[in-house]
Structure 1
Amino acid sequence: MIQVEDIRVAFGDKTVLRGVSFDVPEGGIFALIGPGASGKSVLLKVIAGLVPPSSGSVRIEGEDVTRMDEAALAEMRRHVGMLFQNYALFDYMSVGDNIAFPLRQLFDLTEQEIAERVSERLGRMALPGFESRAVGGLSGGQKKRVGVARATISRPRVLLYDEPTAGLDPVTSQKIYDLIKEEQRSANTTNVVISSDVKGLLSIADRVGMLHRGEMIFQGSVEEARSSEIPEVRQFVYGLVDGPL
């Protein structure tokens, strides 16, 4: 479903990604872990077609995102949802209008159809009746759930999550992970998830990749990640103080 091959990204004289390659099969959850400033968020934006790579390719369902023109990218984004790390919600819009935003931008639906889809998403997120609420009055966990609702409302086949549990307490974090897993099971979505909460993320993932200094230093199953002898991987997975990181 997602094939990332030899992706390199440089901003001026700063190289951010150094030949990153990995695959995510249809319906899979790929956990992308690594220290801060290792290139994870940039890689997610490359997959979404938001940042052009210096070289390499990203194929979604066989189509190379890196070679698409604006019209093709717009069509591709109808099938790709993304949850940004900082929510990326519009404060001047209500909760309902925030969630409906992708539908109004990408699809030709009636307002009745949009309202029904928004109501269904809010119900799935355990936020029934929140359509007219102001975004500024929501808790961090509620904002994350609104973000998940917006990312999934267009019924995308691919979902990209950037730190979906950042700043949340353990109980709320687990609820977000449960939502991601539920969406994967119910809609067979293909997912790439970045999270610093390694323990929680590995509880829902199928495979794991670790970025360090712009390079993919590990790929494998969750069990292989937990038993890895690579010092950086072991330190990060178990949150050890002593180590090379």
Structure 2
Amino acid sequence: MIHPSAIISPNAKIGNNVTIGAFCIIHDFVEIGDNSTIDNYCELGIPTPLANSDALIIGDNSRIRSHSCLYTGSNIGHNFVSGHYVTIRENSSIGTNVQLGSRGDIQGDCEIGNFTKMHADVHIGKASKVGQYVWMFPEVLLTNDPTPPSETLEGVVIEDFVVLASKVLILPGVIVGKDSVVAAGSVVKNNIDTGLVFSGNPAKKLCKSNILRLKGNIKQKAYPWRYRFHRGYTDSDVKAWLSEIDS
């Protein structure tokens, strides 16, 4: 169903069973996959000279909530879900089953892996690379300019299964290793190796993440989180994760 107030370019490709809400603008060369919903007041495919492609591709079964703005040149996988007032700039490659909370901001030339979940007010700086199954809680900020303002960009790298708690600030060029956990409010200035807990300003190593225990159940390890938390993930992923424990 397409609301009569929506403005849709004849050069856009709209899949089957797509809903487009009131006062949306769908520009040239936007592709919206089957069974997707675009809520009211969204603008998709905003032109920019910075884009490497004229197309904006949105995968099947996606849900983009009201007042969101997506620029041309990006490719978004199936089952994408956004909050309200999100921005996704040009040349962003976003995997499947990604969630971006309200007022989330993904700047240009970013990579976001499958099943990554970003809560409200997360900012992903230009040239960031975020792996798969990453959790970013409210107000996480990935920066990229070591001497602002400048023309130098050093994107942050967040590896698979990392947890960044609320209000974490990652400085330009930092690499956060797989299975690491960064505590709320931390400022990360240096690289973090695999499977560590960092906390503070500046963030410092506390311990290995796999020694932490769940609050209220000290018999169960909290990390890697994939060994205990499975809601929203595929049966095949869960089976693979549990097989890691056995090995």
So what's the TM-score if we normalise by structure 2?
Answer: 0.24
Q: Looking at secondary structure, tell me which structure has more helix per residue.
A: 1
Q: Structure with the greater relative contact order (CA < 8 A, sep ≥ 6): 1 or 2?
A: 1
Max Rg structure = 2
